[in-house]
Chain A
């Protein structure tokens, strides 16, 4: 086995702004989570009824 194979991978790609540094991967994950959150607020829920029903069983 060649010694170079044992070397660690590169440190990855990072986005830096002042004291803040975040990996591109983590930034994409956070952006995707924010996107899912926004979509959960705006997308219509299937089978949604427009009349109110009681919050409690009787």
Chain B
């Protein structure tokens, strides 16, 4: 992208893919908006807190999940510390979903897709659905009777809708890898994209707010 400014020659078009990518990335978020220290006045409301609460819970989920992965199955079943971290992982997930659903309710009734924010909304939708899948594989990774029961029930359900051939919920190792590697990787990328889009377009104003004061 080149811009002609008064009194200045046009910038040279980048030829390498790295230069083009750098140029593109420099325009993803408006200057000063990557980590802003000022926000619109209408953001002073509790309903705007639940997005960052969801992110904070996700950080605890990932951190406790990493510890569980390092410790291993026996550690989280037998060791006192392992059981504590296991519980920390569970409850941070519970809070993650509670915060995310309240965040979703707030944004739905705020019609948060307004003002070119459709992609922000859709990445949130995909993150929500992806989180449900990630949590489900987490249930299957517990290595206890509950995970065995859930897997046999899920096997029938997945087969009934014709997707049972793509993954085997009766294979704990496969489900563990889905839970600790593949799905968190995908979910992480989607969440980062969601946050970048929020910073790019700004937080959505209340429906009765003046749109002009928050135009990017």
Contacts and interface: CB of A to CB of B under 8 A. Distances in A.
A33 interface: yes
B102 A57 contact: no
Interface string B33-47: 100111111101111
B49 interface: yes
B47 A57 contact: no
A53 B102 contact: no
Q: How large is the interface on B (under 10, 10 to 19, 20 to 34, 35 or more residues)?
A: 20 to 34
A41 B44 contact: no
A55 B44 contact: no
A51 B31 CA distance: 24
Contacts of A37: 47, 102, 105-106
A52 B36 CA distance: 17
B50 interface: yes
A21 interface: no
A50 B44 CA distance: 10
18 contacts: A33-B102, A36-B98, A37-B102, A40-B50, A40-B102, A43-B46, A45-B45, A48-B44, A49-B44, A52-B210, A54-B40, A55-B39, A55-B40, A56-B30, A56-B33, A57-B33, A57-B36, A58-B32
Interface of A: 29, 33, 36-37, 39-41, 43, 45, 47-58
Interface of B: 30-33, 36-42, 44-47, 49-50, 98, 101-102, 105-106, 202-203, 205, 210, 213-214, 216
Given A37-B47, A40-B50, 5 more contacts: A33-B98, A49-B44, A53-B39, A54-B40, A57-B32
